[in-house]
Amino acid sequence: MFTPARQRGSEILDNPGEDPALALRSLRDVALANRFFGGRRAVLAEVQRVVRALSSSQGTVGKSPGRITLLDIGTGLGDIPRAAQRMAARTAIPMTTIGVELVPVLAQAAGTACTHALAADAMALPFADSSIDIVTCSQVLHHFDGAEAERLLRECTRVAKSAVIIGELRRSWFAVGGLWAASFLLGFHPVSRHDGIVSILRGFTGSELQRLVERATGCRAQAHRALGFRVVAVWSPSHRDIAHT
- For position 242, what pLDDT does the model report? 42
Percent of the chain as helix, strand, coil, to the nearest 5: 50, 20, 30
Residue 61 is predicted with a pLDDT of 40
Least confident of 7-11, 14-18, 19-23, 198-202: 14-18
- What's the CA gap between 119 and 133, in Å, rounded? 20
pLDDT at 1 over 70: no
Domain spanning 19-55+65-236: CATH 3.40.50.300: no
How much is the pLDDT for 7?
86
* Mean pLDDT of the residues in the chain: 91
Distance (Å, whole) CA 63 – CA 114: 26
What is d(CA 200, CA 106) in angstroms, rounded to the nearest whole number?
Answer: 23
For the question of whether the overall pTM of this predicted structure is more than 0.85, the answer is: yes
- pLDDT for 241 beyond 70: no
Q: Which residues contact 231 (CB under 8 A, 6 or more apart)?
A: 167, 168, 169, 170, 203, 204, 205, 206, 209, 223, 224, 225
Q: Which of 60-64, 101-105, 157-161 has the lowest mean pLDDT?
A: 60-64
> What secondary structure letter does DSSP report for 142?
G
Instruction: Identify the pLDDT of residue 60.
Output: 44
pLDDT digits (tens, 9 = 90+) for 166-208: 999 999 999 999 999 999 999 999 999 999 999 999 999 999 9
Give the pLDDT of residue 240. Answer: 63
pLDDT over 60 (residue 244): no
Segment 39-78, tens digit of pLDDT: 999 999 999 999 999 888 765 444 455 789 999 999 999 9
* Rounded to 5°, angle at Cα 24 from 176 and 105: 140
Q: What confidence score (pLDDT) does residue 91 get?
A: 87
